[in-house]
Amino acid sequence: MRAVIKKKISILLCFSLLLTMLTGIGNPAQAQTGSVKNVIMLIPDGMSVGGPTLARWYKQTALGQADSLAMDEIASGLVRTHWAKGPVTDSAPAGTAFATGHKTDDGQIGVLTAEEGKKPVATVLEAAKLQGKATGIIATSEIMHATPAAFTSHDPSRGNYNALMKQQVYNDIDVVMGGGGEFFGPTGGGKRSDGVDLRDVIRGLGYQYITTRDEMSAVNDGKLWGMFAARDMKYEIERGGTTEPSLAEMTDKAVQLLSQDPDGFFLMVEGSKIDWAAHANDTVKYARDIVAFDDAVKVALDFAKQDGSTAVIVASDHANGGVSVGVWADGKYADRTFADFKIPDNIGWTCGAHTGDDVGLYVYVPTGAEKLRGVVDNTDIADYMAELLNIDLAAITERLFVNLQEAFAGKGASVAAEVYGGDYVFTVTKDAHTLKLWSNSDKAELDGSQISLEGLIVTVDTSSVSEAVYNTYIPQEAVNLLP
């Protein structure tokens, strides 16, 4: 009898093992339970909760496609979007919340509030880089616009392109793609006065600098910097016949390049022009750019499902325009049927500005990782990504952003500053040693020897030379260079 029971148990165990193996075939994400190695965050800037609804109707009625989105299958909750002092946020503090886990003031990028001294705080991208991961940013606006800047740079003013773009250049990001090419030329698009052609600097740092879709397609490895428009890239509905790649194509190329790093990667993708169309209450451009954004989400999801160690997070930084499917002028609800439903008819807008609504949250994680759900704060997104990647953002902030004056005064060194090309150069002297530090870069020079630091030199008060000395932050690594 016992032999029969043992035989039955053995058969059941074999069947269970076979079933486990079979259910894993073709679905690596379900078969693996390891930690998350890669994070892709996609931001549909300015997309209200009504945006996906409108995009589905647009796909069906205008494009003749199925009325579903890639985002639909990973819908997870809602995000509260308020900034430090009010309910309706700008993209700068909203992006800062996503990138750093901190609320800040209007217009500020990657720094704390004025009451907190505007101290720079580390971003998820910067922390991932220090883990040895590859990093990337993509946008359809200028690349130094608020959202991509919030992940890669630090300044109290989102309009300070001089600082933001230079910090991006020197922040050792592996893949950068978007618009804004003219700002990197010697005239700086009117935003810089140093006369430096930053495109040459970018090439000198080992990037393949490209400007067309075909050039992008030809890149198969290495660091990539793609500037596909002088300023912002075109709306998706206007892109045909141009040399610009789509957001989905840029995302696909970025994933292809970044996934070659065995340590993993972090990628931020922004559908920037959704927000611009909402400001203009342009229903067709708004809907079409959401569809184009969703195509990029599909690229990310397809990779994540095949890879098995990638998380995908989708959330807008804020709502815009108060879009609705249905307007007061329609009268009775029954007056509008599927037969006569057309876009942009029957679509309402309450304003041409940002609104304080909650926005949608969409999350995909491989088996073994916890999915973020429910109603969350925008700062929770940064904390969640840091948790997935086993990152301590507070510790990275202390490592990357030490007050220059305080640190060197503690070493008995003296600090002097001068202005050069719109930026500050700090000269630190102690005994026979001279250390030079260039703001808005990672550049240092010790006794004539050039050094690239692991983080940026950031000045948050440029009102005077004396104020700059007391309001500049440097990596601890720079402090350690002097005995």
Structure tokens of 178? Answer: 């978007």
- Strands in 449-452's sheet, in edge-to-edge order, are 414-420, 423-430, 433-438, 443-446, 449-452
Q: Which amino acid is at 356?
A: G
91 in active site: yes
Whole-angstrom distance, CA of residue 463 vs CA of residue 115: 17
Whole-angstrom distance, CA of residue 274 vs CA of residue 91: 13
* Per-residue CA distances from 129 to 55, 260, 264, 379, 455 (Å): 35, 15, 10, 20, 10
Structure tokens of 251? Answer: 């995302």
Q: 279: which residues sit within 8 A by CB, 6+ positions away?
A: 46, 320, 321, 352, 353
Tell me whether the omega of the peptide bond preceding residue 344 falls within 30 degrees of 0, making it cis.
yes
Whole-angstrom distance, CA of residue 357 vs CA of residue 320: 9
Helices (H) and strands (E) counted in the chain, each on its own, are 17, 22
What percent of the chain is helix, strand and coil (3-state, nearest 5)? 40, 20, 40
Whole-angstrom distance, CA of residue 100 vs CA of residue 385: 10
Nearest to 291 by CA among 326, 252, 255, 246: 246
Question: Which letter does DSSP use for residue 109 in this model?
Answer: B
How far is CA 347 from its chain centroid? 30
Instruction: Note the helical H segments in 436-475.
Output: 465-470
Q: Which of 91, 246, 309, 441 is catalytic?
A: 91
How many angstroms separate the most distant Cα atoms in the chain?
A: 92
Question: Which letter does DSSP use for residue 421 in this model?
Answer: T
Burial (0-12, 13-18, 19+ Cβ within 10 Å), 214? exposed
Residues assigned a catalytic role: 91
